[in-house]
A and B are shown apart, each in its own frame.
Chain A
Amino acid sequence: MKASISLLRGSLGAALVAFALAVPSVSAADKVDPAADAKAFQKFFFKKFPDVKHDDFVNGPYSMNEDMKRQWQEKEEFPPYEFSLDAGKEMFATPFKNGKTYADCFPNGGIGIRQNYPYFDTKEGKVVTLELALNRCREANGEAPYSYVKDEMASLTAYMAFTSRGKPMDIKIPDDPRALEAFENGKRYFYTRRGQLNFSCASCHVQSPGERIRAEILAPALGILNAMPIYRSEWSGMGTISRRFITCNSQTRAVPLEPQADEYRDVEYFLSYVANGLPISGPGARP
């Protein structure tokens, strides 16, 4: 993997593609067993990074690098996501034209529930993310949906994450074959190589966390959504989960999918489920 990462780093201009066709050593019976998957996933990271406290994985790149962590902790005294948090709080409290508010759309008035998203909606037969639920709430109340990649959506999810800080991720997979399929599809999306650079999400976030890509230190896949949304200096603003997925796809020269495409919903379901038990830490701030 080191070689592949340096390929990405070094030859962004080269029109070169190498196909690594791995011969998979897959056990005969491929049963979907999310609980076993989550256990193996967590164990992999706990073993790979024995010095990282388990709850620290939710701090993305900061869990991988002590210097960076110190800088971040200093920054947290005046967190750059604060304006977004304040905006989100206000938006959350401001009634729609029909007098209702976001609180009317969510369990517990939307407070302290981030850890339960995404969930599998057995009526629709699909995964519903928090971003999707927020826009559905808006539309159900006669408001236009927000862009999934812009500030308003990030502010709303920042506020909802903030009210849920410290709560352990708690994603359920109901006893429904479609839910298992969504989990499996998310898993496949996560491990599938794509783009001209032939990278999967796992190439970067499983095989290379802690390594640098250009100026950035790669976050571990375990707990990678717990800090979302995030402020990034590079974006000079906030980024939603949708925005992050799109950016990561583009980095491998893959055309990103539309925000909240089934694949993105499913990969969010997968990544959140395997992080069950790890605390919500969002909103986050990144260099």
Chain B
Amino acid sequence: MSAAMQRSLVLAMLLLSSLAPPARAANEADYKAAYAAAEVASKEASGMRNQWTTTVSTLAAAKKAGDGGDFDGAVAAAKEAEALAKASIVQATSEKEAWKAMEIR
């Protein structure tokens, strides 16, 4: 393991599968709200030139579930997509300085 990695601190471990399930069945409004929030975060990540492929595919899965009337599935996927997008934003923000740690000097 490199010195840079050893010095590094694991700040967040995001286990997406452990997101808490909703208490009641979701409806279309829940889906629309969750999807809109995910879309905002994903657009921000894209604007930072740091979109993750998994954000895009999870957002697409949310839409597909929503279109098919599976609102529980759609809300869960939208929340996951939002979490992914937000993680990519954190990454892009921290890398503005953190990249220098890896530089060959």
Chain A residues packing against B (C-beta within 8 Å):
1-4, 15-26, 30, 37, 40-41, 44, 187-188, 191-196, 198, 200, 202-203, 206-207, 250, 253-255, 257, 263
**Which of B2-10, B21-29, B30-38, B64-72 contacts the other chain?**
B2-10
Decide if A24 touches B54 in the complex (CB within 8 Å): no
Decide if A191 touches B52 in the complex (CB within 8 Å): no
Complex-state Cα separation, A84 to B104, whole angstroms: 36
9 residue pairs, one from A and one from B, having the closest CB atoms: A22-B101, A24-B101, A20-B8, A255-B51, A22-B8, A191-B99, A15-B16, A24-B100, A192-B99
Q: Smallest CB-CB separation from A3: which chain B residue?
A: B1
A-B contact pairs, 11 of them (CB 8 A): A1-B5, A2-B1, A15-B17, A16-B13, A16-B14, A16-B15, A23-B101, A24-B98, A37-B104, A191-B102, A254-B51
Chain B residues packing against A (C-beta within 8 Å):
1-2, 4-5, 7-17, 46, 49-54, 56, 80, 84, 87-88, 90-92, 94-95, 97-105
Decide if B99 touches A15 in the complex (CB within 8 Å): no
Complex-state Cα separation, A196 to B45, whole angstroms: 12
Checking B53, B80, B104 against A255 with a beta-carbon cut-off of 8 angstroms, the contacting residue is B53
Decide if B2 touches A21 in the complex (CB within 8 Å): no
Decide if A198 touches B10 in the complex (CB within 8 Å): no
Decide if B56 touches A255 in the complex (CB within 8 Å): yes
Decide if B103 touches A187 in the complex (CB within 8 Å): yes
Complex-state Cα separation, A228 to B53, whole angstroms: 26
Complex-state Cα separation, A263 to B80, whole angstroms: 29
Q: Smallest CB-CB separation from A187: which chain B residue?
A: B103
Decide if B50 touches A194 in the complex (CB within 8 Å): yes
Q: Which residues of A contact B80 (CB under 8 A)?
A: 15
Q: Which residues of A contact B11 (CB under 8 A)?
A: 19-21
Number of A-B residue pairs with CB-CB distance less than 8 Å in the complex they form: 119
In the complex where A1-B5, A15-B54, A263-B49 touch, is A22 in contact with B91 (Cβ < 8 A)? no
Checking A40, A200, A250 against B53 with a beta-carbon cut-off of 8 angstroms, the contacting residue is A250
Decide if B91 touches A198 in the complex (CB within 8 Å): yes
Complex-state Cα separation, A26 to B53, whole angstroms: 31
- Nearest chain A CB to B15's CB is how many angstroms away? 6
- Nearest chain A CB to B5's CB is how many angstroms away? 6
Decide if A19 touches B91 in the complex (CB within 8 Å): yes
Decide if A24 touches B14 in the complex (CB within 8 Å): no
Q: Smallest CB-CB separation from B50: which chain A residue?
A: A194
Complex-state Cα separation, A18 to B16, whole angstroms: 12
Complex-state Cα separation, A30 to B98, whole angstroms: 14
- Nearest chain B CB to A59's CB is how many angstroms away? 21
Q: Which residues of B contact A23 (CB under 8 A)?
A: 7-9, 101
- Add 19 more A-B contacts to A191-B103, A200-B102 (CB < 8 A): A1-B2, A1-B5, A17-B87, A19-B11, A19-B12, A20-B5, A20-B9, A24-B100, A25-B101, A40-B105, A41-B104, A193-B98, A193-B99, A196-B52, A196-B84, A198-B91, A253-B54, A254-B50, A255-B52
Q: Which residues of A contact B101 (CB under 8 A)?
A: 22-26
Q: Smallest CB-CB separation from A188: which chain B residue?
A: B99
Complex-state Cα separation, A1 to B5, whole angstroms: 7
Q: Smallest CB-CB separation from B58: which chain A residue?
A: A15
Q: Smallest CB-CB separation from B52: which chain A residue?
A: A196
- Nearest chain A CB to B6's CB is how many angstroms away? 10
- Nearest chain A CB to B105's CB is how many angstroms away? 5
Complex-state Cα separation, A263 to B90, whole angstroms: 20
Residue in A188, A202, A203, A253 whose Cβ sees the most chain B Cβ within 10 Å: A253
Q: Smallest CB-CB separation from A256: which chain B residue?
A: B53
